[in-house]
Structure 1
Amino acid sequence: MTNPTFSILITTKNRLSDLAFTLGKIQYLLDKKEVVCLICDDGSTDGTASFLQAEYPEIQLIQHSNSQGLIYSRNRLLNMVTTEFAISIDDDLHFVTHNPLEIISYFFIQNPEVGVLGFRIFWNKTEPISTATLEQSIPMQSYAGGAHAFRMKAWRDIPEYPAWFIFYGEENFASYHLFKKRWKIYYLPEVLVNHRVDLKLRKNNSDYVMRSRRALRAGWYLFFMFYPLKKIPRKMAYSLWMQFKNKVFQGDFKALIAIGMALLDLVWNVPRIIKNSNRLTQTQYEEYNQLPEAKLYWQP
């Protein structure tokens, strides 16, 4: 029997219809002997666990009776992996490329210094009409949490994600540690995925303030944990100015609420920030910032 080489990891909470659609789309991957699938049901109340147990008994399911957060759930899944590579995808995301495993494994084998591969992501409710691209594989600073592959040797070489971030920022946290350990992160445009999200409508969702708050505070946590001390005041000032200029001064007063709450979170978590800080030297900071930013959005 072939030993599995890939684990597909999915964290979900109360999105049964999205998850069912995704699993249907990737069924051909789940049927492969070299693949195992692990799903964390983070406190769903919509019958997700019952559905998985009935329809996908081969999937390794872990359940939280109460929600522990996305990042905590991702840590649990990654710490259960026994295969050489792990692919993390969101429950509302599926592969458009039909042979992703072969492409991913070939790139990892040919490039032993690469620890993470980020995929080409099309954000839309439907798949793109044209999938062609002229983009090439390039190194990046970071990657998308719900659309990447990890070489597990690299994952075990760094601290696990900070569960107290709850949502957002874990990829950049890992990227700084990977950089300091000399692991590389690469963009792999040959692997195209469809993230079934309408970005324009997301702003009107009821969780807009919560998402904004968590995104802001995660960025600020990372400033204080990894940046050289002399860089932090200017970075914080610029971040705040851009939030006011592009959102608050444009009439987005929900953003003002998110900014205030994120600042309170930053102060509250100072002890954790101090405990987990691992600053880049000035030379490392300059080298890191010479890398292209993570490619998160692709348009055909």
Structure 2
Amino acid sequence: MTLTVSAVIATYNRGPELRIALTRLMGQTTPPMEIIVIDDGSSDGTGAMMRAEFPTVRYVRQPHNGGLILARNFGFVNTTGDCILSVDDDSWFEDPDGLARCVAYLEENPEVAAVACNIETRDGLVYFPKGAAPFDVPWYVGCGHLLRRSAVEQVGLYMPELYRQGEEKDRCLRLVGAGYRVVALPDIMVYHDKSEKGRKPGMERFYNHRNDLIREVARCPSSLMAWRLARSWAGNSWKNLRHGPRTTDLKVLLALPQILRIGLKHRAPVSAEAYRRWLHLAKTAAPASAPPERKPAEKPVSRAASRPVAAERPSPARSD
């Protein structure tokens, strides 16, 4: 049986980028049977563009900005495909058969709940070594992955309180805990143009730190909780110390009551065995998280309509 695919794209004030993403997606050799775009309150004319240029795409404009994760949950419960494709409003498959190959892998491997595409970014980062055989990873990347609906229905939706990031790690930990696999497909490339619109490094670091702690409270077995909370705090604090802003840790500290409340609300720990297996993958097979070193004179180049040239990494990156 051929699996059907629904595509979910969340957007916010990125009309021109969304146009490219949709055009590329609809040009796949086997496009999704349905596409839903959830507009998180854009004010840049995205709605007018969608009505004029993409009348066959379902377009839903949220009345207010509820966050990326809430939008993705909305898309999941309002689509019907056997698989859910997630791409960002500034990402797309580099090859016209990329989606078809993702679907074929899920059809051939029923124990796999999600496939993580290889992400190539405008700043020269390649997440997985090109040419490698498929291998298990601890999480997928939000801008390019395909999920098996039945597996997601078993473990549940994203925690909406995470708001904007970190949801992939939490869901994949739950999938591993339920006995599923998450697999990287290094030869299926998704180009992420990484639009600067809406990106605030300080906010991203805050939510990375905050949401890692929420995940530990919600999913970590009690026997490992103290160690993991300390490890998560130390690792993120070191990143904040190196990259700033220095006030991030203070903001996270002030958010601790909220972190505990959200984590305990969703608490459903996985087994210690599954958790240790996930930690091992996080140390050995996690997607890369920082661009390669560049010469001072080199500048990143955006290639919105062509295949980018990117530096390859010799092995899967380690993660803190």
State the match for 1:289 in structure 2: 279
Relative distance call for 1:283 and 1:5 in structure 2 (3 A) is: closer
The answer on 1:223 being equivalent to 2:222 is: no
State the match for 1:274 in structure 2: 264
Distance in 2 of aligned mates of 1:32 and 1:119: 17
The answer on 1:186 being equivalent to 2:183 is: yes
Distance in 1 of aligned mates of 2:116 and 2:277: 20
RMSD value, Cα:
2.6
Alignment of 1:25-104 (within 5 A): 25-29=24-28, 35-104=33-102
The answer on 1:232 being equivalent to 2:229 is: no
Amino acid at match of 1:286: R
Gaps of 5+ in 1: none
State the match for 1:111 in structure 2: 109
State the match for 2:204 in structure 1: 211
- Tell me the TM-score normalised to structure 2 length: 0.81
Distance in 2 of aligned mates of 1:39 and 1:155: 20
Distance in 1 of aligned mates of 2:233 and 2:32: 47
For the 8 Å contact 1:4–1:34, the answer to whether it is kept is no
> How many residues are aligned here?
287
**Aligned-partner SS, 1:237:** helix
**Aligned-partner SS, 1:141:** coil
**Aligned-partner SS, 1:91:** coil
Q: Which moved more, 1:94-103 or 1:49-58?
A: 94-103
Distance in 2 of aligned mates of 1:269 and 1:132: 35
The answer on 1:12 being equivalent to 2:11 is: yes
State the match for 2:252 in structure 1: 262
Structure 1 residue 246, shift from structure 2 partner: 4.5
State the match for 2:22 in structure 1: 23
For the 8 Å contact 2:112–2:180, the answer to whether it is kept is yes
For the 8 Å contact 1:119–1:148, the answer to whether it is kept is yes
For the 8 Å contact 1:127–1:194, the answer to whether it is kept is no
**Aligned-partner SS, 1:174:** helix
Q: Deviations over 1:99-156 (max 9, x none)?
A: 013211211111011110000001116899xx99221101111111221001111121
Relative distance call for 1:210 and 1:27 in structure 2 (3 A) is: same
Gaps of 5+ in 2: 290-309, 313-320
Structure 1 residue 32, shift from structure 2 partner: 5.2
- Tell me the TM-score normalised to structure 1 length: 0.86
Distance in 2 of aligned mates of 1:260 and 1:34: 44
Q: Which moved more, 1:65-74 or 1:79-88?
A: 79-88
Structure 1 residue 182, shift from structure 2 partner: 1.2
Relative distance call for 1:125 and 1:15 in structure 2 (3 A) is: farther
For the 8 Å contact 1:96–1:127, the answer to whether it is kept is no
**Aligned-partner SS, 2:119:** strand
Q: Which moved more, 1:118-127 or 1:209-218?
A: 118-127
Distance in 2 of aligned mates of 1:109 and 1:299: 31
Relative distance call for 1:4 and 1:36 in structure 2 (3 A) is: farther
Residue identity over aligned pairs, in percent, reads: 21
Q: Which moved more, 1:117-126 or 1:151-160?
A: 117-126
Distance in 2 of aligned mates of 1:154 and 1:144: 17
**Aligned-partner SS, 2:27:** helix
For the 8 Å contact 2:30–2:99, the answer to whether it is kept is no
